[in-house]
Structure 1
Amino acid sequence: MKKAIRNVLAIILGLVLGSVVNMGLIMTGGDVVSPPQGADITTMEGLKASMHLFEAKNFIFPFLAHALGTFVGAVITALIAANYKMRYAFGIGATFMLGGIINSFLFPAPSWFIVLDLMAAYIPMAWFGGKLALALHQKSTNTNL
């Protein structure tokens, strides 16, 4: 039973901390890369209406938010999980990818961004995060001998 509780806690923490990273980057992205002149990004309706004004540079932070949020969530989950670390890391990636798919229907983003985002920001980042966690776990078990 202890393993099951630890795995559930790993998933919850991975989703929460990955989401915090995601939202933090989304919130600060507009300060680093200014939105287009005349774009109202304060409301969902305004964002949808002004999406056609966005340039490629305006999609850097959304991509980073999705990729790094997934990466952090996968690392945290795989570090904490009692077993099946890569499976749980991929589960985090799949969960964030589901959010990305839903967002692709909600926001009229360019097709190139949707394809790039769905292909590169979720499952590959979950894989990298899981592999990093496994390497860190392996290193910590080797040094504790």
Structure 2
Amino acid sequence: MGRRILAVVGGLLAGSICIWLMEALGHFLYPLPAGVEPTSVEAFKAYVSTLPFAALLLVLVGYSLGAVVSGFISTKIANDGKNRYAIICGVFFLLATVYNMIMLPTPVWFWVLGILLWGLVLIGYKLALNNTKA
């Protein structure tokens, strides 16, 4: 039981780090305008509504990377060949993504890809199962 919980927590942590790193890169490349407080919800919404395509695409790259890594790590930690830990991570991140998209102004294409990309946890799961044979 402890290993299963650790698998999900490890997958969520690893995926979150990947997403955070990509979003940090996005904030570096597309910084908040001068004088805008990051804690101001309305100011942050206005900032997001002006982001270029590349900035939003970078967020989706983070989601993709986070999905694959969380699926991979959760499967490796669980070490039982089941995909349920990857799926749990994917569902958690999917719910967080939908919440963020509801809260922030994002275009329809971002919604579609933002939802579909979480299926990539199964790619991470499959990669974790591959055994290299020499």
Moved more, 14-23 or 44-53: 44-53
Unaligned runs of 5+ in 2: none
Indicate which of 100, 104, 125 corresponds to 1:103.
100
> Which residue does 1:126 correspond to in 2?
121
Distance in 1 between the 2:53 and 2:35 partners? Answer: 15
Distance in 1 between the 2:129 and 2:81 partners? Answer: 10
Paired residues, what number? 133
Distance in 2 between the 1:60 and 1:102 partners? Answer: 18
Q: TM-score when scaled to structure 1?
A: 0.80
Contact 1:78 1:85 in 2 (8 A): yes
1:18 aligned partner, one-letter code: G
2:57 aligned partner, one-letter code: I
Q: How much identity, in percent, do the aligned residues show?
A: 29
> How do 1:1-145 residues align onto structure 2 when only pairs under 5 Å count?
4-32=1-29, 34-35=30-31, 40=36, 42-43=38-39, 44-119=41-116, 121-123=117-119, 125-135=120-130, 138-139=131-132
Distance in 1 between the 2:49 and 2:56 partners? Answer: 12
2:129 aligned partner, one-letter code: L
1:122 aligned partner, one-letter code: W
Question: Taking structure 1 as reference, are residues 11 and 54 closer, same or farther at Cα in structure 2, changes over 3 Å only?
Answer: same
Distance in 1 between the 2:54 and 2:91 partners? Answer: 26
Aligned-pair distance for 1:133? 0.4
Contact 1:79 1:85 in 2 (8 A): no
Distance in 1 between the 2:54 and 2:101 partners? Answer: 18
What do you get for the CA RMSD once the two structures are aligned? Answer: 2.2
Contact 1:35 1:58 in 2 (8 A): no
Larger relative contact order (Cα-Cα within 8 Å, sequence gap ≥ 6): 2
Find the structure with the greater CA-based Rg: 1
Aligned-pair distance for 1:63? 0.5
Q: TM-score when scaled to structure 2?
A: 0.86
